[in-house]
Amino acid sequence: MKKIIFAAVLLLSVSTAFAQIDFGVKAGYTSSLSTTNLDLIKTGDYNVKTVNAELSNNFHAGVFARLGFGAIYVQPELLYAMGKKDYKVSMKDAANNDVTYDKFVTISTVDVPLLLGYKVLDLKVANLRVFAGPKLRFNAGSTLEFKNLTGGTVKQEDLVKDIKAAQLGLEAGLGIDILKFTLDARYNLIGDMYQTQIKDLNIDKIPASTFVISLGWKLL
């Protein structure tokens, strides 16, 4: 084990010695706009006013590092995300009756993406990048509430909150660097940490996949 750890540290030291390293801070919107919601816009069930309201309620901030090896780079990030996600849930009870309730989620997570990127266009003052990689999400005090339960035989106490401690997802997107500024637009593919159960049966598992826009500043 000691030999493996020593080899990993040595490899990291050699790699960073030949890498261009940047550190910076970033902040931006973690939207509630998913591909599912985009489809609902077409039917009128999810309008632009709702989208704008959700965009203003979700944001993230944190730090990042970028290790560049020519056109290829590795970018780990540490971000805190918070916001709100409110929507109506429709389901069937055991007797096939319609049941609806409102679900209110307060989001508080720590996100740790590890991205591998490639500079498609690399100029002295600007570059265009594409990137993808895994992202770990940890719960940091999120809450879940149910209100306005109507229809069927399901009672309020039958709804069980299930907030996951952690989730693993994927991110992919593109970015632009201009001098010290960095702008990213990415799609976040991850499972919803906030689920509803009745007797260990998941009845509401809506993916948390969203579009993310962030602006960063390279400090070093």
Q: Where are the beta strands (DSSP E) in the chain?
A: 20-30, 59-69, 72-92, 98-122, 126-139, 143-150, 160-163, 166-178, 181-189, 194-198, 201-204, 210-218
Residue 182 structure tokens = 């960095």
Domain count, the chain: 1
Secondary structure class of 194 (helix, strand, coil): strand
pLDDT, tens digit, 9 for 90 and up, residues 47-75: 555 555 555 568 899 999 999 998 999 99
Q: What is the mean pLDDT of residues 148-159?
A: 79
Query: What's the mean pLDDT when you consider all of the chain?
Result: 80
CATH number of the domain to which 63 belongs = 2.40.160
Which of 22, 26, 29 minimizes the C-alpha distance to 61?
A: 26
Where residue 220 falls among pLDDT bands split at 50, 70, 90?
A: confident
**Of the given ranges (1-5, 84-88, 183-187), which has the lowest mean pLDDT?**
1-5
* Alpha carbon distance 133, 138 (integer Å): 17
d(CA 137, CA 103): 21
pLDDT band for position 46 (cuts 50, 70, 90): low
Domain of 8, in residue numbers? 2-218
C-alpha dihedral over 210, 66, 138, 6, to 10 degrees? 150
Alpha carbon dihedral 167, 84, 154, 44, in 10-degree steps, equals: -110
Per-residue model confidence (pLDDT) at position 34:
58
